[in-house]
Structure 1
Amino acid sequence: MARAKKQNQRNQKEEYYSSVSEQFKLIRTNIDFSSIDEDIQVILITSPESGTGKSTITSHLAVAYAQKGARTLLIDADLRKPTLHKYFSKNLYLGLSNVIKSDVCLEDCLQKISLADCSLSILTSGPIIQNPNDLLSSKRMNELIETLRGSFDKIIIDTPPVTVVSDALVLADSVDGTVLVCRYRKTLKEKARHAVNQLRLSKSKLLGVIFNGTKNAENYYY
């Protein structure tokens, strides 16, 4: 009986993650077809507030692109509360802030993520600094993104909430599109509206919104 129960739980878990994987493939396809005339190579992910699951979304989306065969880079540009290094058990203290400040060369900061038959790398945030907005809005950061365009097919950038700090806005002009992550029963309409208005101040195209945290497992991310 216990063995059957464990097997049933295992099957339910596999079914759940399979459903989540399919939803991210759908999101990936929608992003790719969101612009007919231009390639969406660099994507910025932000949210109206913290606690929406934005960083988890960012990680899953990067994996979805890597599984498609794209050379994918995941960048943690949240230099205030970085989390992506925890998801993949990577070194936090050798990353983006090091590269922008020219403390360490880019090649030494790019860390490979082990996935079967996939090309996925991560550039963690690096040491937390006191002036992240100044670094992210610097000429060096813009040059870094342009350099990375030549090495990767897709670049997914995780940033802090857009209504809390302006870090996402200073990066938005350097990317090809932005995705806003909202959460069921957390994000208020007014907060989401304010986030959209903030993003419209930049030149970046708002690709769409991911509504996260619904009860139905089949529609958990969409």
Structure 2
Amino acid sequence: MVINKRKTLAETKKRTLITYSFPESIISEQFRTIQTNIKFSIAEQKGRKFLITSPSEGEGKSTTSANLAVSMAQQKERVLLIDANLRNPSLHSFFKLPNSNGLTEVLTGKSSFEEAINHTEIGRLDVLTSGFIPHNPVELLGSNMMQELLNYALQSYDVILIDSNAVLDVTDTKLLVQQCDGVVLVMQNGKTKIEKAKEAKKVLDFAKARLVGVVFNQ
């Protein structure tokens, strides 16, 4: 059974989803440029699963994930945005969605993929929220169920974007890297220290990640 949970975005924070509220803005155009760069960078490999992370928390990776997903959906792409930050999720608040049934419930077999999906009014953008915060996020994200979920989703979507934890904070992100075709690293101008950026790059290289872009937030 597919539950269609379309939500109005009238109450959505305009500053958060600027690509939705102000699609003609300079920032929205920058997100379209990021989107184009990603497409060109993976054209030969035909990658479709992308992880968005940052060296540390608070650098804007979730905001970047949400706006990049909106930008892609506005270009007629079928986009699935997954909140795989099972420790401190936030995407449900960006889109004003319930978070009682999400990724955690699908991975633990408590819900089907179709029941957990939230359909938005933005093009063909669907959101899979995190669901309840589990006691074993590493085990869930590194499970065969996670890989099966992504493979199943590829049958219905052109692009899958995964918002994750900061790569230097926990093991979760390293596990997800191995299941994705590319990684976008988000850093905040004036906050991200060069040492942290280099360490994040080293960790991603060790995990054999394909870095397809770096986003600098102001």
TM surpasses 0.5: yes
**Is 1:201 aligned to residue 188 of structure 2?**
no
In the superposition, relative to structure 1, how do residues 197 and 21 fare at CA in structure 2: closer, same or farther (>3 Å)?
A: same
The answer for the alignment partner of 1:86 in structure 2 is 93
* Higher Rg of the two aligned structures: 1
Match of 2:11 in 1: none
Matched with 2:164 is 159
**Superposed counterparts of 1:23-172, under 5 Å:** 23-115=30-122, 118-172=123-177
Residues 31 and 40, structure 1, Cα contact 8 Å, conserved in 2: no
Describe the superposition over 1:20-69 as per-residue Cα deviations: whole angstroms up to 9, x where unpaired: 11000000000000134111211100000011011000000000110111
TM-score by length of 2: 0.88
Whole-Å Cα distance in 1 between the matches of residues 162 and 118 of structure 2?
Answer: 15
Is 2:22–2:28's contact at 8 Å kept on the other side of the alignment? no
How far apart are 1:16 and its partner, in Å? 9.4
Q: Does 1:177 align with 2:172?
A: no
The aligned counterpart of 2:10 is none
Q: Following the alignment from structure 2 to structure 1, what is the Cα–Cα distance between the partners of residues 168 and 26?
A: 31
One-letter amino acid of the structure 1 residue matched with residue 104 of structure 2:
S
Equivalent residue letter for 2:69: A
Q: Give unpaired runs (5+ residues) of structure 2.
A: 1-17
Match of 1:218 in 2: none
> Over aligned residue pairs, what C-alpha RMSD do you find?
1.5
SS across alignment from 2:41? coil
Distance 2:70 2:202 in 1: 29
Distance 1:143 1:50 in 2: 28
Alignment partner of 1:180: what SS? strand
Distance 2:42 2:116 in 1: 32
Unaligned 5+ runs, structure 1: 1-12, 214-222
SS at match of 1:39: coil
Runs of 4 or more off by more than 4 Å in structure 1?
A: 13-17
User: Larger deviation: 34-43 or 147-156?
Assistant: 34-43
Distance 1:85 1:52 in 2: 18
Count residues in correspondence.
199
Percent identity between the two aligned chains: 42
Question: Partner of 1:33: helix, strand, or coil?
Answer: helix
Structure 1 residue aligned with 2:195:
190
Which letter maps to 1:211? F
Q: TM-score, normalised by structure 1?
A: 0.86
Residues 65 and 72 of structure 1 are in contact (CA less than 8 Å); yes or no, is this contact kept in structure 2? Answer: yes
Distance between the aligned counterparts of 2:195 and 2:24, measured in 1? 32
Q: Distance in 2 between matches of 1:88 and 1:167?
A: 24
Letter in structure 1 aligned against 2:32 = K
